[in-house]
Amino acid sequence: MKLKGLAAATSILALTLTLGACGGSDSDKSTLQKAIDDGKISVGFAGEAPYSFEEGGELQGASVSLAKAVFKELGVEDVEGVNTEFGSLIPGLNADRFDAISAGMSILPDRCEQAAFGDPEFMYTTALMTKEGKLDGMKNLDDVKKKGVKLATMTGAIESDYAKSLGIKTQQVGTPQDGMDAVTTGRADVFALTAISLNWMEKNTKDSGVEVSDSFVQEIDGVPQVGAGATVFRTDDKELRDEWNKGLEKIVSDEKAYLDVVGDYGFTKEERPDGSITTDQLCKGELPTADS
């Protein structure tokens, strides 16, 4: 009788544990399921307007607007931001400081080894910022190198990689505002960043005293550096990344829907991905040559 009683008690305990597992503790849930259950998800951002930034205590920007629209489609109502320097975004993601990166981060092979990128959200070009009247005909980073002027680039940004490949020594800055300040104070002659960011800063800074070059696609060894930005996830959050891509496709595939989400931040149909470049290609470094 005692053995039967022990067996019954053991069976009840096993059933209880099984039901508990079915209900799922937070540690059992995927990142997406936890976000749906909690009604919120956290994203890392780098304070780079117009991609993601804070204004009046509110998280804003084109990347943020896309995040809010897509996560709402996935059943997550609230997107919370964690402000982090650009170069610390992927380390912060992998340290579980936030659940995704919403900063318009360029898709690069070395970054793809560290984290999982969603599908392209923005196509990128680069521009140069100088003091007013000091652009001096510079149209790209090759011109910057020829003139031997002092160049500032943002830590972790793709322009830093371009400069390194071209053998240009750079002054590293933590934020876009730091780069603009370096130019206006004379610590740097030129600041290179995505064209959309520099144009936004010049337009939204009263009496900025700077000018911005026309946008360009930098070439490295004859290969145009076609760039695209995307939301970034931890490598083991495949479910979240895949569901994100499905929601994103509904927006990016429709020009009006895309511009309704990002148009207020200066983005145009020219920045909308057309499917010609994929995340897989960019992660592998498979870019078209200048002759193709």
Range(s) of the domain holding residue 84: 39-123+227-284
Tokens 């749906």 belong to residue: 36
- The model's pLDDT over 80-124, given as tens digits with 9 standing for 90+, comes to 999 999 999 999 999 999 999 999 999 999 999 999 999 999 999
**Residue-level pLDDT at 13:** 38
Angle at 114 between CA 221 and CA 89, to 5 degrees: 95
Using CB atoms within 10 Å of the CB of residue 87, give its burial: 0 to 12 exposed, 13 to 18 middle, 19+ buried.
Answer: middle
Domain's final residue, options 193, 216, 239: 216
Q: What is the mean pLDDT of residues 189-202?
A: 94
Query: Over the Cα atoms of the chain, what is R_g?
Result: 23
For 44-54, the pLDDT digits (tens) are 999 888 999 98
Asked whether residue 278 falls in the same domain as residue 150, the answer is no
| Domains: count for the chain | 2
Tell me, yes or no, whether 112 and 240 share the same domain. yes
Considering the domain architecture, whether residues 43 and 155 belong to the same structural domain is answered as no
Task: State the pLDDT at residue 48.
Answer: 87
Q: Does 210 share its domain with 131?
A: yes
Q: What is the pLDDT of residue 14?
A: 42
DSSP category for residue 215: P
Assigned token pair, 258 = 């895309």
Which letter, b or e, does each residue of 133-162 get, where b requires 16 or more Cβ atoms within 10 Å of its Cβ?
Answer: eebeebebbebbbeeebbbbbbebbbbbbb
| Judgement on whether residues 208 and 239 belong to the same structural domain of the protein | no
Asked if residue 50 has a cis previous peptide bond (ω within 30° of 0), the answer is yes
Query: If you average pLDDT over residues 226-249, what whole number do you get?
Result: 96
Q: Of 106, 111, 126, 289, which is closest to residue 198 (Cα–Cα)? A: 126
- In 3D space, the residue among 159, 146, 147, 219 whose CA is nearest the CA of residue 192 turns out to be 159
Residue 246 in domain: yes
